[in-house]
Each structure stands twice: as structure tokens, then as C-alpha cells.
Homo-oligomer: A and B are copies of this chain.
Amino acid sequence: MKSEKISELTTNRLSIYLRCLNELAAEGSKTVSSDNLAKRFHLNSAQIRKDLACFGEFGVRGVGYYVEDLRQQLTKILGLDHHHRVGIIGAGRLGTALTDYYGFRQTNFEVAALFDADREKIGTVVSDVKIYDVRDFAKIADRQGIDVAVIAVPAEYAQRVLEMIVASGIKAVMNFAPTPLLADEEIKLKTIDLTISLESLSYFLAGSGKNGKE
């Protein structure tokens, strides 16, 4: 496996392929060619072959890919054969919306706990998930086996929350606060900045942007 050289864009595409294969498997398809996979899901067949070649030889000449086999391989490559437990810091609208986001449920991610500083919220339950005092984060994260943290607090608190997460030993963080955060190299920090996405739409509407989807 040449995983050292795999970019995040490649693994993002693997996620998409896996989703397509899950759909094909649910329909009872046994095999699929890269051309048919591309055609069906608006993908690029050469790209599919190139991406998969990074991880091994999955295709069979004259057959294409065995749907179930490739599905299992991609699940394993993406670490989705392991269960992940998510702690969300910030039990505002965004944090609670994420609690029952359908995307979480599709994957092996389970929201185990919410955290907030608001005494009114602490101890209440949203979508079967309990809201804990953020000051107990390290203790609860350890007890609940949380390995992924989601930052859903206002920008001005985000860096401090990140430091609290890192101090607790969690290495994978998804950040929704629209601000650049500083993290050590050994932390995987994924910022979802909707403001930046909005501004790329605005740039497009201003007539300077090139067309296209992403």
C-alpha cells in the first residue's frame, strides 16, 4: 500500500466510491465496471481506476469490480470497520443539529456526548444524547471512549476548546468555528468553514468566478 502519498482529495473520492458501492450492494449488484460506476454516479472512470490502484489491484479483467469485495476493502481502508465515538462541544443549534445529522448515522460514527457551559443545558438530553458540563470534558471523554471531537462553539472560544480537546488526548477534531485554529502536527484538524463556502458562491455571483461544481 502506498498510503504515505495518498492525498485527502483521494480519500475524499474513496468515500464517494464507497457510498456508490453501498447503493449498488443494496440493489443486489454483484459486479460493476469503472465505466458503469462513473456513468451511474457522475464520476470519472479513469480517476476511479487511478485512485483504487493506489491501494491494490481490485479490478478483474472482463468483470470489473466485485461490488461486495471492493465495498469491504474501502470500508477497511477508510477505517470504517472501526466504531468511532464523537463528542460535540457546543450544544447550540449547530451542535444539536449535528447530533442527529444523517451523515453520522450512515457511517460508523456515533455521537456519544454533547458538552456545554450553559447550566440550563447541562444534564438535559437531545436526541438521546446527554449534555455534560464542558469542564468535565476530559473525564467524560475518557469514560465514554470518545475518539473524535467536534467544535461547534463561537469563533472566540474555538482555540481554547481545541486546546482542551488536545489535552484530553483526542487526535481527530472537526471544527465548525469560522476561524483559523492552531494545532500540533500530530492532530488531524478538519475545519468546515461555511463562511468560506458562502464567499466562494458570492465570488461566483460577482461574475469573477469560473463556473463549475466542486
Taking Cβ atoms with an 8 Å cutoff, the residues of A that contact B are 1, 3-4, 6, 8, 11-12, 14-16, 18-19, 41-43, 77-80, 82, 84, 93-94, 96-104, 106-109, 147-148, 154-155, 171-174, 178-183, 185-214
Checking B4, B78, B107, B154 against A210 with a beta-carbon cut-off of 8 angstroms, the contacting residue is: B4
Q: Is the interface of A mostly helix, strand, loop or mixed?
A: mixed
Q: Is the CB of B202 within 8 A of A192?
A: no
How long is the Cα–Cα vector from A203 to B206 in the complex, in angstroms? Answer: 37
Q: Given that A107-B199, A197-B192 are known contacts, is A42 also in contact with B182, CB under 8 Å in the complex? A: yes
A24–chain B nearest beta-carbon distance, Å: 14
Checking B82, B173, B197, B202 against A202 with a beta-carbon cut-off of 8 angstroms, the contacting residue is: B82
